Amino acid sequence: MTAVLDIRGLHLAIGGRHRPTPILRGVDLTIGVGEVHGLVGESGAGKSMVGRALLGILPGAAVIEEGRIDFLGRDMIRLSERERRRLLGREISLIPQDPMTALNPVRRIGAQVADVLRLHLGLNDRAAWTRVVELLDEVHIREPERVARRYPHELSGGMRQRVLIATAFACEPKLIVADEPTTALDVTVQRQILRLIREMQANHGTAILFITHDLGVVAKICGTISVIHGGRILEHGSTEAIFKRPTHPYTSALFAATPRYDRPGDQLRPVPATLLAELAREARALDEGRRPGAAGR
């Protein structure tokens, strides 16, 4: 299997020049062609930072210290601004977390979806408009022509997320970063959106980096997963294998902390403090090895 995305030894830190806080500690991650890969972790694990580093939209204070992000043979970190711009939207796109804020409030839906078509495929206004309507239809928006003329505030959260999914798939990219695409939606809409992403993925054969904290979502959509904690990938493999027999104690603890609708009687257990302390110790040891003296907090 050839890889669409291959991240090797990615180290990323945030904040001060003298004492940066490590966020990612040597992340390795590989996604094959057409594969849906779940990146699972709790808040602050660094999962969104992986996606942002790949797309080049890191917050200002974040610095990539070392590592490679290899996308179809191109190193995304050392890409020039111009080359990156050609790739973004065309070969890699994003389904953002919050559909309420990801659309420009003062521009019509159609115009916003058309941007990417005109920019990368060079379609003229009329062709872009036709394609926009097709795309909106493909994500099951009823009356796509009417919706294309609406402003974002006139659409529900689920509708907006459909629009953003249409935009993400518009140029047939090789890889889509889905950064918690269902987190901001309510549960019934979550299901529909998840089903839509799966359907679009199957039709287009796009690889997806699916960033989430929700193990239930992972089980539904991802073929392979990586478990991230404290900026380290603790475990990776096929979803089936990991769900059946997690090898890392943190993964097991994570399962034990997740409510399951099929076993409502189960007692939920928080991730044990001793395990978290152990993980923190390991992380500190790693930081110490990279930057002697700096991790003495």
Partner 1 sequence: MAEPVAAALPDDGATGSVRALLGNPRVVFGGAIVLLLVTVALLADVLAPADPLAQDLLYSYLPPFWLEGAEPGYWLGTDSLGRDILSRLIHAARVALVVAVIAATATALIGTTLGLLAGFYGRWVDTVVSRLIDIWMAFPPVLLSIVLVAVLGAGLHSVIIAIAVIDWTRFARVVRAEVMVQREQDYVASAVVIGLGRWRTLTGEILPNVLPLLITLFTLEMGIAIIVEAILSFVGLSMASDFPTWGGMIAEGRQVIHQAWWLMAFPIAVLIVVVIALNMLGDGLRQVLDPVLRR
Q: Name the site residues for partner 1 (rule: CB under 8 A).
A: 55-57, 84-90, 93-94, 96, 98, 101-108, 110-111, 114-116, 118-120, 125-126, 128-129, 132, 148-149, 151, 153, 164, 167
Are 6 and 70 within 8 A, CB to CB?
yes
> Whose Cβ is closer to partner 1: residue 152's or residue 231's?
152
CA dihedral over 281, 287, 289, 294, signed as positive or negative? negative
Q: How far apart are CA 6 and CA 32, in angstroms?
A: 9
> Whose Cβ is closer to partner 1: residue 158's or residue 230's?
158
> Whose Cβ is closer to partner 1: residue 146's or residue 195's?
146
Q: How far is the CB of 228 from partner 1 (least distance, A)?
A: 21
Q: How far is the CB of 102 from partner 1 (least distance, A)?
A: 4
> Whose Cβ is closer to partner 1: residue 210's or residue 250's?
210
Q: What share of the chain is helix, strand, coil (3-state, %, to 5)?
A: 40, 25, 35
Q: How far is the CB of 197 from partner 1 (least distance, A)?
A: 17
Q: How far is the CB of 246 from partner 1 (least distance, A)?
A: 33
Are 208 and 197 within 8 A, CB to CB?
yes
Nearest Cα residue to 25 out of 60, 57, 49? 49
3-state secondary structure of 80: coil
- Dump strand ranges (E) for 185-223: 207-212
Q: How far is the CB of 29 from partner 1 (least distance, A)?
A: 19
For 155, other C-beta atoms within 10 Å of its C-beta total: 19
